[in-house]
Amino acid sequence: MSEELKLTILKKLDSEGSIEDTTAAFKGVSEEVVLGALKSLESQEKVAYVTLTTEFWTIEAEGKDQLENGSYEARIFEAVPAGSQGIAIKDLEAKFGKVAKLGQGKCLANKWVKKDGDSLVRIADSIVDQVKAGLETVHATGTHPSKDTIKDLKRRKLIKANKTVSYAVSKGAQFSTELKKQATDLTMEMMQSGAWKSAEFKKFNFKSLGVNPNGGKLHPLMKVREEFRQVFFETGFEEMPTNNFVESSFWNFDALFVPQQHAARDLQDTFYLKDPAVASSLPDFWETVKDVHEKGGYGSIGYRYPWSEDEAKRLVLRTHTTAVSAHMLNKLAQGPYRPAKYFSIDRVYRNETVDATHLAEFHQVEGVIADKNMSLGSLIAFLDMFFKKMGMSDLRFKPTYNPYTEPSMEIFSYHEGLGKWLELGNSG
């Protein structure tokens, strides 16, 4: 239908020069279909068109009643007999129902009748039913020459405004009666065959509205991350700044008492930076850390090896966010004593062989509680509460070794679906 209509429009323009009104020219064809054809032809510059809007009035159901039987006020006037006796208002209401009240008000306003006690008495000898006359004109012509009449009929909800849309069409700059299919995309096949050289491409319509994209959604990883964050916030934790992805080996390992010959510091486990390769300096207390490594202290005998400052300065992509915790605890120790709860959730990096269960980059969830009189029982109680908030209640704790906590525990939870115990994390 669309292609046939386009050809019909072009042929009519070719023979007549223009189309003054598409509604008259293409009877029985909806204006939506006509507009679609015109837009397509306009995009090829074969035609130009302007929109013609015509307003007309139609008679509503109440108006049709008054067109056929006369206005309410005319009916009431005719029901009032001539002479001084008139008619009782209650008799009018019994005869006309709700029409009686509406018609009575208009009759009184027009001074056709007057009240005499409980009755209505005629004042005028005869009347002209202007409402019915106005409706007859609207019915015959779709409008009325008097704006006041239209306004009154509309106010009384006897008529309703309607619009018809049609189009006046003229020839475009590239007018012809031939329809050639336009290409919408430059394809690989067209490039290879050279067909693009002779192809006629459809112009872009930069004013058209595109398809509304679906709203953005959180990545599943970010959803889980937010769940963890809310649990930490509910339990009074502060979030640590974790935007320092590069750390010196001092903060990443040495400050956490990981010995410099530990396997975790090998190239096959850690990403070391090439440029810059080393940190410019170490914190003021580096010699205290060195002494603990070499000689021990605070109840430890140390590792008893020659600690290297150069090794401590080597820059790495942090292998855990515990390096951030070390920074925060050091900062906390600089001021007067206060209890603190810190947490972080961010990326860490390991030189892992990538497989189904390992990536070179992953997220670590970490929490630190600093306070006096804390015990292993305090830690277990907190972990039990924390994981219950995450929906995991069946927990087990297993002793383990960490260089930076003593005592230390691994945390396990039973997975009903897999039917086995899974490690959730480490603690101490």
The residue-averaged pLDDT of 172-198 equals 83
Q: Burial, 167: exposed, middle or buried (Cβ in 10 Å; 0-12, 13-18, 19+)?
A: buried
Nearest to 341 by CA among 245, 416, 237: 237
Check residue 346 and give its pLDDT.
93
Q: Give the Cα separation of 335 and 349 in Å (integer).
A: 32
- Helix (H) / strand (E) element for 87: namely strand 87-88
pLDDT(238) > 90:
yes
pLDDT(16) > 90:
no
Q: Give the Cα separation of 368 and 361 in Å (integer).
A: 22
Over residues 375-396, the pLDDT tens digits come to: 999 999 999 999 888 888 889 9
- Running DSSP on this structure, what letter comes out for residue 48? E
Do the beta carbons of residue 159 and residue 65 sit within 8 Å?
A: no
Check residue 6 and give its pLDDT.
81
The residue-averaged pLDDT of 133-156 equals 88
pLDDT(1) > 70:
no
Rounded to 10 degrees, what is the CA torsion of 235, 237, 243, 244? -120
Crossing angle of helices 147-155 and 130-141, rounded to 10°: 100
Check residue 314 and give its pLDDT.
94
Over residues 269-305, the pLDDT tens digits come to: 899 999 999 999 999 999 999 999 999 888 889 999 9
Check residue 43 and give its pLDDT.
78
Over residues 56-85, the pLDDT tens digits come to: 888 899 888 888 888 888 888 888 888 888
Radius of gyration of the chain (CA): 45
Sequence-distant (≥ 6) Cβ neighbours of residue 295 within 8 angstroms: 302, 304
Check residue 291 and give its pLDDT.
93
The residue-averaged pLDDT of 85-98 equals 85
Do the beta carbons of residue 318 and residue 290 sit within 8 Å?
A: no
Mean model confidence pLDDT for the chain: 87
Q: Give the Cα separation of 427 and 386 in Å (integer).
A: 13
Phi, psi of 56 (to 5 degrees): -145, 165
